[in-house]
Amino acid sequence: MFSSPFPAVEIPDVSLYEYLFGGLQEADLDRVAVVDGSSGAETSYRELRDRINALAGAVAAQGLGIHGVAAILCPNIPAFTVVFHGLLRAGATVTPVNSLYTAEEIAKQLTDAGASWLFTISALLPAAREAAGQVGIPAERLVVLDGAEGHPSLTELLTSGAPAPDVSFDPATHLAVLPYSSGTTGRPKGVMLSHRNLVANVEQSRGLLKVRPDDRLLALLPFFHIYGLTVLLNLALRERARLVTIPKFDLAEFLRMVQDHKCSYLFIAPPVAVALSKHPLVADYDLSSVHTTLSGAAPLDGELGARLAERLGCRVLQGYGMTEMSPVSHLIPVDATDVPVSSVGYTVPNMDCRLVDPATGEEIEVPAEGTSAPGHLLCRGPNVMLGYLNRPEETADTLDADGFLHTGDIATVRADGVVSIVDRLKELIKYKGYQIAPAELEALLLTHPGIADAAVVGTPDADGQEVPMAFVVRQPNAEGELLDEAGVEEFVAARVAPFKKIRRVEFIDAVPKSSSGKILRRMLKAVDA
């Protein structure tokens, strides 16, 4: 077992609202908390706190409180912050819903979570209304934040005049959030995260990321994903920084917001790192305000990270986690000097980890020097979920008797505690007994000037052997002849051991990814089939 090299942090035994807003100083109240990146409209900490309390009072007056669950179907806009923290202030549990979901997918989550309210925006109302109808949420409990006939609006709730309720609950056991995750296998499941889980993870991350009150964070990563919720929304508010919201990714708009709002800290996923390091449009904008970029949600190749750092002239960090860990378990500290960006840095404070041989189940020791053998990463700490909602068997499969979460990821650890993720356990390709990490081949493919994006999956060959297959997106306006299958295979073969060679190639328009940046390999395997 190995632990964080950093001292343990004290985790306040309070609700998330009290943790973030209870200690607001007079000097902080008139600081800008949230900016609508599209319009430039600003909300101060004073206004944000008052609106959160007003929202809490309005929903509590209608019976939504400690035993209630409400869903939020909403992109990254300032109103999300008000609704999310207002609901938690009232004692309710929030289940954030992916803005890209269909009505059927929304309805499934609403049903599973037991949500009796749904908050959305007019642009998403058709799917929201259909889903609400399927699960029996009445029109008066389908709140359309920007207004729609027949439904309450955010303005109506904020002006109801009802006082914020007095609520009391145990932060360690009361559910704050029910995000949905597939975990290591299977269908999406409700991840039960308590107020203490969320408070702990912000506190665990603060000392390593060192976000300052004068930092401006561009909120691209969706708040409905735990990465955006914890590392962007909650961390920024705790540090009294300024959060600039962007509702969806458009490279030109992203670059404009960084330039116009002088954003200093970027939180991204690897697909955005690829665009920032390769796209010619980047050169048209002044990004000199950026001092740090943190990549998470999927593996970032070290060479890509180095190219990004050079092009933006900033530090590039990488972190690792899972929804089940609120989500951060590992980070490269902002002031680290001897930590490769290809790693995920150190274990955050208050956490213990183990590496276990996936074949034998035996413990892998931390070496006295050098790097350990790869093993299945297990993590334990105050940020680890309470379990999966109404799924005791799947909870038992993921959380062992000693409290360790089985991540499903293969990792190594250096003698000094630096952890690197090799790949996901279930995604490893086994070719003639050799294990091949798709992430390694994907990182190599992205170094080709003619490749804009790529994904690798295992596919059976004529002999039934699993071989690596690459799905490749050609780089637009790439110089030279159009890249072909042989060119891709030869490029990889010249740079890897023979058993790692790409043996099939298919050119596609875009690599399917989740909103958090993870490659949806099952979709690619379905295409191959």
Q: How many CA atoms lie within 13 A of 243 on its CB side?
A: 34
> What's the pLDDT tens digit per position in 156-177?
999 999 999 999 999 999 999 9
DSSP category for residue 165: P
Residues 358-382 have a mean pLDDT of: 95
**Mean pLDDT (whole number) for 76-86:** 98
In this predicted structure, the answer to whether residue 359 has a pLDDT above a threshold of 90 is no
Q: Do domains 1-11+194-426 and 428-528 have the same CATH topology?
A: no
Q: What local confidence, expressed as pLDDT, does residue 527 receive? A: 75
Tens-digit pLDDT profile for residues 195-244: 999 999 999 999 999 999 999 999 999 999 999 999 999 999 999 999 99
**Residue 430: pLDDT over 70:** yes
CATH number of 1-11+194-426: 3.40.50.12780
Render 8-66 in DSSP notation, one character per residue. P----SS-HHHHHHTT--HHHHTSEEEEETTT--EEEHHHHHHHHHHHHHHHHHTT-ST
CA-based nearest residue to 329, from 393, 396, 255, 411: 411
pLDDT (mean) for 342-348: 97
Fold designation for 31-168: Rossmann fold (3.40.50)
Residue 182 has pLDDT above 80, yes or no: no
Return the H-helix or E-strand segment holding 222: none
- State residue 477's pLDDT score: 66
What band does 185 get if pLDDT is binned at 50, 70 and 90?
low
Task: Please tell me the predicted confidence (pLDDT) of residue 498.
Answer: 82
φ and ψ at residue 75, rounded to 5 degrees = -75, 180
**pLDDT cut 90: percent of the chain above it:** 80
- Collapsing DSSP states into helix, strand and coil, what is residue 357? coil
Instruction: Give the pLDDT band of residue 476 (cuts 50, 70, 90).
Output: confident
Q: Where are the domains of the chain?
A: 1-11+194-426, 31-168, 428-528
The CATH code belonging to domain 428-528 is 3.30.300.30
Given a cut of 70, is residue 183 above it in pLDDT?
no
pLDDT score recorded for residue 433 = 61
How many angstroms separate the CA atoms of 88 and 55, rounded? 10
Residues 509 and 472 sit within 8 Å (Cβ to Cβ): no
Q: Which of 366-380, 397-411, 422-436 has the lowest mean pLDDT?
A: 422-436
pLDDT surpassing 60 at residue 478:
no
Exposure string over 99-109, b if 16+ CB within 10 A, otherwise e: bebebebbbbb
> Nearest 5°: CA angle at 418, between 413 and 423?
55
Q: According to the model, what pLDDT value does residue 101 have?
A: 86
pLDDT at position 435 is 65
508-515 contact pairs (CB < 8 A, 24+): 508/471, 508/472, 508/473, 509/473, 510/453, 510/473, 511/271, 511/453, 511/454, 511/455, 511/471, 511/473, 513/271, 515/98, 515/99, 515/100, 515/222, 515/224, 515/225
The model's confidence at residue 482, banded by pLDDT at 50, 70 and 90, is confident
CA–CA distance, 308 with 97 (Å, rounded to integer): 31
Q: Over the stretch 375-402, which tens digit does the pLDDT of each residue have?
A: 999 999 999 999 999 999 999 999 999 9
Q: To the nearest whole number, what is the mean pLDDT of the chain?
A: 93
The CA–CA distances, whole Å, from 467 to 410, 492, 504 equal 20, 14, 8
Grade residue 529 by pLDDT with cuts at 50, 70 and 90: low
Candidate from 122-131, 245-254, 455-464 with smallest mean pLDDT: 455-464
**Stretch 298-307: mean pLDDT, rounded?**
88
pLDDT of the residue at 480: 57
Which residues touch 463 (CB under 8 Å, ≥6 apart)?
none
Give this prediction's pTM. 0.86
